[in-house]
Structure 1
């Protein structure tokens, strides 16, 4: 879908990123387990040869985050619908009580209540579950797979060629390539996450993101409307 982990603007529903466990900086390392396995694949240890284990962890992390994001968007939309129904019931009760009351003071209080209701802006529409899940999945394709793979793969190839140019022995070259890729991972997580957010913000999120809520009218216009109502 914290850091970029906490930064950026998830149009699809990562609205509460501060509470998003899967975007936590430490949990984000699960997205790079596959790259860690590739960096260790040059060694002869049996764990490093089993790349399917590392890629399976990364795929599970991406799938779990995508499903959770869609479910949270669905849950938020249901909660917003229930709150709207409760507000409508309260407004109906208030209207009935106002009709039973008599007197000029009571009428003024009723007008004030109507003005307060008009001043309240409507709540912004929540993200659709499918759009939220699609946004998070697309983000992971960029931030967890494509960009890290090209970045770390280029670093490994560059270090290997540089070591070959220096005629460094193969055992030392193998350690240098793995060490360079592993030490680079903590430094690139946040920038890649922010870059992925920016790419989506200027492209796909403009298509399926909800429009911004309308800005409230200035106070001067509201005062003019109140004066006109009082004159009538």
Structure 2
């Protein structure tokens, strides 16, 4: 995370604290896929998905607490929940999970044909490469999802309810 966490009442539990790292659980699960049972990987997706849902609910509650007309409140809450849910699902679960999965699969395959290392060494090397890839892909994926949503879904929101980029 390039921005320092904020302090005080503006502090966002899901973006400015250690809780944010729960969103990366599936990436860690994908990195360890060659070493652990599939159920462990699916559990990591459960953790990440729970994080996404909790953040969307939190953003909806916060949007509902802003004083305004009741008709505008409902729209604002809906936009906050949908935007957060879609953004987090793409930026925290789907795209990073797919990317780490493919990096690990490719590295395991390439190590199998390029080296004579024993399978456990190749699997641990693959896991290490997957883990090292996580910090490299975070910001490019986040910015790409911002661009994607700004170019599509966010154009559909009412002008007064557009959320700021995540």
TM-score in terms of structure 2 length: 0.78
1:23 and 2:15 correspond: yes
Which residue matches 2:145? 196
* Structure 1 gap ranges (5+): 7-17, 82-124, 213-232
* Structure 2 gap ranges (5+): 162-166
Which residue matches 2:164? none
Runs (4+) off by over 6 Å = none
**More moved, 20-29 vs 184-193:** 20-29
> Could you tell me how far apart the structure 2 residues matched to 1:4 and 1:62 are?
20
> Could you tell me how far apart the structure 2 residues matched to 1:209 and 1:176 are?
49
> Could you tell me how far apart the structure 1 residues matched to 2:3 and 2:145 are?
9
| Structure 1 residue 207: Cα displacement | 0.7
Are 2:104 and 2:130, in contact at CA under 8 Å, matched by a contact in 1?
A: yes
Name which of 70, 86, 90 aligns with 1:142: 90
> Could you tell me how far apart the structure 1 residues matched to 2:149 and 2:11 are?
21
2:122 aligns to what SS in structure 1? helix
1:155 and 2:103 correspond: yes
Summarize the alignment of residues 1-232 of structure 1 with structure 2, pairs less than 5 Å apart.
Answer: 19-24=11-16, 26-43=18-35, 50-76=40-66, 78=67, 80=68, 128-167=76-115, 168-211=117-160
| Structure 1 residue 51: Cα displacement | 3.2
TM-score in terms of structure 1 length: 0.57
Are 2:59 and 2:80, in contact at CA under 8 Å, matched by a contact in 1?
A: yes
> For each residue in 1:20-65, what CA deviation from the matched residue of structure 2 results, as whole angstroms up to 9, or x when unmatched?
2312374332112122123223225x8x853343222112111110
Across the aligned residues of Structure 1 and Structure 2, the Cα RMSD in angstroms comes to 2.8
Higher relative contact order by CA 8 Å / sep ≥ 6: 1 or 2? 1
